[in-house]
Amino acid sequence: MATRPVSTTGVPAAPPRRAVVGYALGSVGTGGFGTLPGLVLAYYLTDTLGVMAGLAGLAVTVPKIWDVLVDPIIGRASDASARRRGSRRAFLLAGAVALPVCFALLFAVPGGLHGWAAALWVVVAFVLATTAFSLFQVPYIALPAELAGTPAARTRLVAPRIAVLAVAILAFGAGGPELREAFGGGRDGYLAMGVITGLVIGIGMVLAAVLTTRRGERAAPAVVPTHRTDGGLVAAVAALRESRPLRLLLLTFVLQALATGAMLGAAQYVATYTLGDESALTVLFAALVAPALLVMPLARRVADRIGKRRALLGSTALFVVATAALVLARPAPGPWVFVCVGLAGVAYAGMQLYPLAMLPDVIAADAAARGKDRAGVIAGVWTSGETAGLALGPALVLGVLALTGFVSRTTPDVVTQPASALWGVVVTFSLVPALLALASLVPLARFALAEAAEGS
């Protein structure tokens, strides 16, 4: 098949429908992998495998340190592949095929392993899973700048992806724990959950790889690199050093990912030890994510009207207020908790949509300013920050629980926790996310590229 011409101004204003559909379906995979480990892995370690909270925090942190190191390398290799082959298809498919197996292994800890041995198994499996995920996610994040030629077109491309992402997050976040319980809970329940959800994740990723690229055809007409870049980490550092908009947007997004990661990581503990019902996780999670589905079309119109940066400022402020109020759940738990979580969910829609719609503008501006494309490298840097934030959120939760005296268990019986640990659970669900989101407003207020670009 003939290769399309490649030029900075040659990107179609509107990508083909199959690419829009394929890009949206990729969120089935990213939503599943981004949600389930952050939601249940910490609880799996402490309340099924009997891993102490401090050690469990280390177990979920080490793979993310690896992820931060490997993502820029994958980004550089993805750029090189696009230069040679005219497509990022090979990377997308490699990650799509490998991730389901690695994801199942994450929840397949043998029955004879407890404590540190179980934690070691999780670390190794999580490293493999995050590597497989990065093989897909890094080139996937680079695609919008290569499929749509204007900021408005990129917003239209990203919006369906965010809508599917919200559905996927809701389905995996609410359905994963239900699958666990349907198969009897405990180790067997987690294993069944890992196998089934891993297969669904893989299917979504394969469809995205096939529909957004064609064999022998350039999937990204405008930004297939024509210049070689330095090594992955060197190129990543250079991109951060040379692009102030990237630094500011990434810092904003990492702080917000850390905030939502902490909230998700604490949700199961809140359901069990604050609301007194382990199964309340499903309702709690639905209260956070379902509002995002309802307001997503409105969120896009708000961005068109007032600009993506200002819309993100408003969403973040709402998130701060809603999560800070949840600290009252410790002295006065009740149904009102779900209302505040729902308000945080409304804000969460904007906190997902707007940064991802602003990133392609940063990539395009960087390519125009430098005379060469670094889409893969920038996507690698972004993915490192995103996955590190979402994963270190649960690690932050576990760190607070360790400091407040949380007691781990291996039996189905809920352990009586000290008052300090019960406060630790609520604080990591409320004040910690609120403060992190509040801090993200500082770099966001200084970000100016999106507002200028939206007029083009």
Residue 401 pLDDT greater than 70, yes or no: yes
For residues 335 and 353, give the distance between their C-alpha atoms in angstroms, rounded to a whole number.
28
User: Is 357 part of a structural domain of the chain?
Assistant: yes
Q: Is the dihedral of CA 99, 101, 107, 110 positive or negative?
A: negative
Q: How confident is the model at residue 369 (pLDDT cuts 50, 70, 90)?
A: confident
Tens digits of residue pLDDT in 206-248: 999 888 876 544 444 444 444 444 445 677 677 777 778 888 8
| Alpha helices, DSSP H, located in 107-150 | 115-142, 144-147
Residue 5 belongs to some domain of the structure: no
Residue 417 lies in a domain: yes
Which residue type is seen at 364? A
Query: 63 lies in which domain range?
Result: 19-219+228-453
Rounded to an integer, what distance in angstroms lies between the CA atom of residue 67 and that of residue 121? 17
Query: Which whole number is the average pLDDT over 171-195?
Result: 91
Region of 134 please: left (phi>0), alpha (psi -120 to 50) or beta: alpha
Pick from 28, 342, 343, 348: nearest CA to 169: 28
Share of the chain above pLDDT 90, in %: 35
pLDDT given for residue 261 in this prediction: 85
Helix or strand or coil: residue 30? helix
pLDDT in tens, 265-291: 899 899 999 998 888 888 888 888 788
Q: Above 70 in pLDDT, residue 12?
A: no
Question: Is residue 437 a contact partner of residue 321, using CB atoms and an 8 Å limit?
Answer: no
| Count of domains for the chain | 1
Judged by average pLDDT, the poorest of 48-57, 194-203, 239-248, 429-438 is: 239-248
- Is the model more confident about 435 or about 296? 435
CATH classification of the domain holding 263? 1.20.1250.20
Question: Confidence band (pLDDT; 50, 70, 90) for 1?
Answer: very low
Q: Is residue 152 part of a domain?
A: yes
Residue 9 falls within a domain, yes or no?
A: no
Report the candidate in 60, 180, 213, 72 with the shortest Cα–Cα distance to residue 129: 60
Closest CA to 242 of 130, 381, 106, 105: 381
Q: What is the pLDDT of residue 240?
A: 76
* Number of helices (H), then strands (E), in the chain: 17, 0
pLDDT at res. 239: 76
Could you give the CA distance from residue 412 to residue 279 in angstroms, rounded to a whole number? 13
pTM: 0.74
Phi-psi region of 169 (alpha: psi -120 to 50; beta: other; left: phi over 0): alpha
The residue count of the chain comes to 456
Q: 156 in a domain, yes or no? A: yes
Q: Looking at the domain assignment, is residue 7 inside a domain?
A: no
Whole-number Å distance between alpha carbons of 380 and 283: 34
Q: What is the pLDDT of residue 220?
A: 41
The yes-or-no verdict on residue 58 having pLDDT over 60 is: yes
Chain segment 62-119, per-residue pLDDT in tens: 887 888 788 778 887 887 777 776 677 788 999 999 999 999 999 999 988 888 999 9
Q: Is the pLDDT of residue 362 over 60?
A: yes
Residue 382 in any domain: the answer is: yes
